[in-house]
Each structure stands twice: as structure tokens, then as C-alpha cells.
Amino acid sequence: MNRPYKIVMSKGDSIQIDSDEIDKVIRGLQEGGIVVTRSGVFNPSFYISIVKDTKRWNEFIEDIKYEDNKVELRKAGCKRLNNIFSEIEILKLKVGNKN
């Protein structure tokens, strides 16, 4: 099931992530480099914590519908975030020799 999380930053803002991105974020925190997620880029030096995104989760729960008058809920998981970088070509810098 895809659970929503958010990365809380030192200035009080946050970056939304999905549960399948947590391993990549933790690796980035350990390495200390810039981390690219589906919803943004962040510098680990401004990271405070990773917490469950209860607002997004509650919005998802409110959207769950009952099927055939049964009391069984459909639990498909929260909708995955869109990748804001999917249509952007990654720029690669060419390093030339300086003599």
C-alpha cells in the first residue's frame, strides 16, 4: 500500500513523498548530496524529519467508497505523486580541459 509521507524542512515547509521514495531519500541523507523526489529537490542539510502526511492520508480515506452496500472498504493505497521532472531533460555539464 502506498502511504504518504512528508519531509519537514528547517524553515517549516515540507516536501511530499510516497512510501516507495523513502529508501532513496534515506540514502541521500546518508550521502549528504542533493535529493531529487517526484515533488521536489531538497538539500539534506535543511532536513529535520520524515513524518506521515496525515492530511493527504485523511483526504484519501474520505474518498474511499463502499462497494455493493457492503461494509468492506477498498484499500488500494493513496494515489502516487506525479513526477514534476518527467518532462524535463536532465542537463549534463561538459567538463573541458583547462590548460
Instruction: State the pLDDT at residue 16.
Output: 94
Could you tell me the three cell numbers for 86? Answer: 518527467
Domains of the chain: 4-63 (2.30.30)
Instruction: State the pLDDT at residue 90.
Output: 60
pLDDT tens for each residue of 41-85? 989 989 899 999 989 888 777 766 544 434 445 555 667 788 877
Instruction: State the pLDDT at residue 69.
Output: 39
Instruction: State the pLDDT at residue 89.
Output: 66
Question: From CA 76, how far away is CA 45, in angstroms rounded?
Answer: 35
Instruction: State the pLDDT at residue 92.
Output: 53
Q: What are the start-end ranges of the E strands in the chain?
A: 4-9, 14-18, 35-37, 40-42, 47-52
Closest by CA position to 34, among listed 61, 7, 3, 64: 7
Answering whether pTM is above 0.75, one says: no
pLDDT tens for each residue of 13-48? 999 999 999 999 999 999 888 899 999 898 998 989
